[in-house]
Amino acid sequence: RSAGGFVLGIALASLYGALVLLAQGHNVWYCLVTTASLGAGLGLGMAFSAKVRVTVLLSLPHIFTKEGKMLLLLLALGMAVQGPCTNILQNFSRAAESLSCGAELALNQTAERLQRAREPLLTVLAKIKDIAQKAKVVGDHVRKFFRSIMDSVSHVARALRNVWLWLANVGKVCNQELGTPYRRCLRLFSEAKDNCERAVPFLFFLCYIIITFKPLCGLANCAWVPAPLHTARPLVIPAALRAALDRVRREFEFNISAVHHFDISLNASKSLGEVALDIMEGVRLRLEPTRRVLGLFTHISFFAILYMYIQALRYRYRYLRDDTFDNVYITRRFVELDLRRAEQGKPTVLPLSGWESGRYIPPAAPWLSQQERRRYGLQLVGVLRHVLLGLSIVLADYSLFWLLDLIRHQLQGEIIARAPAVMGVSVNGTGYISEIFRDLVSAFDTLQQGNVSVLSQRCLLQPAEPDYSTYLSMGILYGICLFIAIFGSHVARLRRVVCAAYYPRREQVR
C-alpha cells in the first residue's frame, strides 16, 4: 500500500482533466466522466498494486519517446484545425458577407438612381398622355358633331330624292290611272258616238261623222308639254356634300403615339449575399470531412494514455525477459563489479574501446549513444517541420484577422455622396405648355436631391478574433515536442532507472 501512489494517481488524473477541459475545450460532462474514471483507476491501482505503480511510472518517461512525440504532434494539429483553421474559415465567411452586403447596397442604390433617372421621362410621358386624352375628347366631340351633320344631310338628301322621284314619276302614275291623252281622246270620241246613237237612233248614220274627227287625237302624241321638273337638276349633289363633310371629319381623326424603351434587368433568382453564403457553404461542406477527421485527434487523449500504459507494460515485459533490451548503460554497480574483478586479477571490461564507447554509455552521460544519435536528427527535423506547419496556420489566422480588423478600423465612418451644387430652373408663364415644362423641371429637381451611400455601417466588417489560449496551448505542445526531440533520449533513460529500482535482482542479472 502506498499513499504517495494514490496521491500521484489523483494528481495525474486531475492534470488530464485540466488539459481536456481548458486546452482542448471539451464538454464538461465528458471531462468529468473520463477524469473520474481515470482518477479511480490510477489512484486505487497505484495505492494497492506495485505492478500498477511501476507501469504508471514507466508511462511517464514514455511520453518523451518517439511515440509520445507523435501523439503530441497529432494533438497540436487537431487543435490547429479546431482553432485557427476554423477561425480562418469564419473570417472568410464574414468577409464574404460584408462584400455581398456592399454589393447589394450598390445594386439597390443603382436601381434607385435608375428609377430617379426615369422620373423626368415618365413625367413627360404622363403629360403627353394627358394631352392625348384631352385631344381625344375634343376629337370625339367633333367627330360626333360632323357625324350628326352628315346623318342630317343624308336624311334631307333621302327626303329630297324621294320627292324628286315622286315628281319625276307622277306623270306615269297619272297615265296608268287615267290613261294617256291619245287614248282618252279616242275614248271620248267613242263615248260621244255611243251617246249620239242612243240619243237619235233614227239618225244614227249622222253619228258616224264624229268618227271622222278621231284622227285629230293623233295630235296628243305629238304635242309637247313643258316639264321643268323633269329636266331640272338639284343644286347640290348629296354624294358630293357627304364626301366633303367626310373629308372635314377626317381632319379631326389623329393618333398620338409615345414609344418609350427603357429596359434594364435587375432580377435574379438569388441575391449576392445568398450566392456568397452558398459558395462558403460549399467550401465548408467540402472541408467538413477533413475537419472532422482531424478533429478526432482532440478526442484521443484518453486513448493516448491507454497507449502509453500498454507501451509501459511492453517495456516492463521485455525488461524482465530480454537481457539485451535497452541494456547499453555502464551503471555504477557495473563499474564497482568491474573494479572488484580487477582487484581479484580477473579479466575486466573497462576501459571501453572506441567502438564500444560509442555504443555503451553511462546513464547520466550528456552525450548520446550511437543508436540515439541515429534517431536524434530525424526526430528533430520532423518536429521542426510540424512546428513550421503549425506556425504557418497561426500566422495565417492572425494575419487575416489583423488585415480585416485594419479594414474595419479604416471603414468605421459613414460616407454619403451628395450633389455638390443644386441647379434651380424656373419656368414663367401661363398656359398648358408652361405647366408641362414646370412639371418636367420639378422631376429633374428630384433627381438632383438623391444621396448615394458610399460607405455604410450596415455592411461594416466584424472579424472573429483568434483564440489566444489555443495559440498558447499549441505553443506549449510544440515546446514539449521540441524538448522531447532534443532531450527525449535522456529522459527515456529513466525507464531503466524505474525498473532497476523495482527489480534490483533483474538489474543485477542484466
| Residue, of 325 and 281, whose pLDDT is higher | 325
Return the minimum-mean-pLDDT range out of 76-80, 120-124, 318-322.
120-124
Cell 536524434, located at residue = 376
Sorted by sequence, the CB contacts under 8 Å of residue 52 that are 6+ apart come out as 5, 42, 45, 46
pLDDT of amino acid 230: 46
Interval 334-355: pLDDT, tens: 777 777 777 777 777 776 666 6
* pLDDT band with cut points at 50, 70 and 90 for residue 415: low
Sorted by sequence, the CB contacts under 8 Å of residue 272 that are 6+ apart come out as 100, 103, 104, 107
- What is the distance between the alpha carbons of residues 81 and 88, in angstroms, rounded to a whole number? 10
How large is the average pLDDT for residues 311-328?
A: 82
* pLDDT band with cut points at 50, 70 and 90 for residue 285: confident
How large is the average pLDDT for residues 95-109?
A: 74
pLDDT of amino acid 348: 72
Query: Using CB atoms within 10 A of its CB, is residue 56 exposed (0-12), middle (13-18) or buried (19+)?
Result: buried
Q: State the cell numbers at 290.
A: 477533413
Return the minimum-mean-pLDDT range out of 57-71, 177-191, 228-242, 419-433.
228-242
* pLDDT band with cut points at 50, 70 and 90 for residue 374: confident
Percent share of the chain, pLDDT over 70: 63
pLDDT of amino acid 228: 45
Nearest by Cα to 408 from 457, 359, 473: 457
Q: State the cell numbers at 342.
A: 580487477
Contact predicate 108/458, CB 8 Å: no
How large is the average pLDDT for residues 298-323?
A: 78
How do beta strands 415-417 and 452-455 pair?
antiparallel
Interval 221-242: pLDDT, tens: 664 444 444 444 444 455 666 6
The ranges assigned to domains in the chain are: 134-250
